[in-house]
Every structure is written in C-alpha cells, then in structure tokens.
Amino acid sequence: MSNSAAQQRLIGLESSVLRSLCTGEESIASRERLTRELAAYPWRVPEHRVVYEALARIREQDPASLREQLPSQATRMGFPDVDWTLYLDGSERSERSLEDMVRDLISNSAGC
C-alpha cells in the first residue's frame, strides 16, 4: 500500500473511531479506557484532534448527554466550527468493534 493510501486509510479509521466514541454506545468505562489508549496517538486531521480532546474532557456521561455536550466543549476549547454531523450521526456504523479499530489505528500509526 502506498504511503498516500495508508494515510487515507488511517484518516478513515480515525473518523470511524471518533464516530463510535461520540455516539456513546460503549460503556463509560470502556470509552474512558479507549480514550486513554489514544492519548499519544498522532491524529492526522486537526479536527479529529479537537474532537478527541473534547471527548477526553467529558467524563462519565450517558450517550445523550455526551452528544449534547461535545459541541459546547469544543466551543469552550476555541473550536466552534466542528461539523458535528460527521461524528454524531449514528447511522454510519462500522462492522468492527471499537476496540479493534482503536488497536488497528494505534498499531498502524507508527508506519505513516
């Protein structure tokens, strides 16, 4: 796979991971653990870093509260222009588990 194709694959995987985290369908403990595992991950897209940071700052929230608070949290961080429809629309789900996607993202980030 070319470097460009690998980068695009990682960017798509980043989006899938963030969408899964933002919908809040994982348990709070699982979401927090996976968010911690991503702490050192070098996000390829600046907006993805913002979404991740907003997620990391919101603790112990039920799915509805999480989705409601994410835009406000990003705005407080100085990023009011995030297109939250990309992250909060639960209609596009991955067939892979969030845990598998996070592991794949972390393991493949070193080579790109």
State the residue range of the domain holding 73: 3-109
pLDDT, average across residues 99-107? 94
pLDDT band at 18 (very low <50, low <70, confident <90, very high): very high
Domain tally, the chain:
1
**pLDDT, tens only, 31-80:** 889 999 999 999 999 999 999 999 999 876 788 888 899 999 999 999 99
- Calculate ∠ Cα 102-79-4, nearest 5°: 45
